[in-house]
């Protein structure tokens, strides 16, 4: 579903409605320009680059200077560089990774890599943020940190967050609305309490007891 929303797949059926309008098939970069950013289940960072440089790649759609200006780093290119770096530093501070900002990403533990990937998505200033299993592979402490940051993003930036996660405790704690899918079919949709007591959801995910 996230791949369809973010333009990596085109749906075989149905359609994507965004801001009240049917959206035609789009490439991922076109979706990003609409204000939709995402993270990936399998971390997709540049291991040989520093944390700061990885985060800066999320500002690509905000860089409008010509190739000539960029090559000589003058005028608009210089102003953009300063502004984009400032935004990247703000997000790095927000996610409390200042002390590793110059560290190559390949040297970082898994939990911090996940936080860097979140930073790269946030620096694009999205209106919708798609998080693909952000807690996967994390220990309890790392999950608590990531949960806190996700809540802070929604609270401080007003960003709408679409979260796919298999840790039901995390889903129920973080979500205002939960949608449950079973083999591509929606079987539950409502508040955490409503979904928690939905018999079809219980049967699909917890199994049905037989005499």
Name 84's Cβ contacts closer than 8 Å, sequence gap at least 6: 56, 59, 62, 63
| β-pair partners for 132 | 164
pTM exceeds 0.85: no
Name 40's Cβ contacts closer than 8 Å, sequence gap at least 6: 117, 132
pLDDT at 211: 47
Place of tokens 């959206």: 23
pLDDT in tens, 82-141: 788 888 999 999 999 999 989 999 999 888 999 999 999 999 999 999 999 888 888 888
Place 74 in a pLDDT band, splitting at 50, 70 and 90. low
pLDDT at 72: 47
pLDDT in tens, 147-158: 999 999 999 999
pLDDT at 78: 67
Helix%, strand%, coil% for the chain, nearest 5: 50, 15, 35
Q: What letter would DSSP give residue 104? A: B
């Amino acid at each position: 579903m996230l791949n369809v929303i973010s333009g990596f797949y085109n749906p075989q059926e149905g359609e994507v409605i965004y801001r009240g309008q049917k959206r035609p098939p789009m490439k991922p970069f076109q979706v990003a320009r609409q204000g939709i950013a995402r993270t990936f289940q399998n971390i997709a960072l540049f291991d040989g680059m520093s944390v700061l440089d990885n985060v800066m790649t999320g500002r690509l759609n905000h860089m409008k200077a010509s190739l000539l200006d960029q090559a000589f780093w003058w005028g608009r290119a210089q102003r953009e560089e300063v502004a984009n770096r400032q935004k990247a530093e703000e997000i790095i501070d927000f996610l409390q990774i200042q002390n590793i900002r110059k560290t190559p990403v390949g040297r970082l533990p898994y939990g911090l890599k996940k936080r860097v990937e979140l930073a790269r998505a946030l620096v694009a200033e999205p209106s919708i943020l798609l998080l693909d299993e952000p807690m996967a592979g994390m220990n309890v402490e790392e999950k608590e940190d990531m949960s806190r940051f996700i809540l802070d993003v929604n609270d401080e930036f007003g960003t709408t967050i679409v979260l796919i996660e298999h840790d039901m405790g995390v889903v129920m704690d973080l979500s205002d609305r939960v949608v449950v899918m079973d083999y591509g079919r929606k079987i539950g949709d409502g508040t955490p309490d409503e979904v928690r007591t939905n018999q079809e959801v219980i049967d699909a995910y917890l199994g049905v007891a037989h005499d």
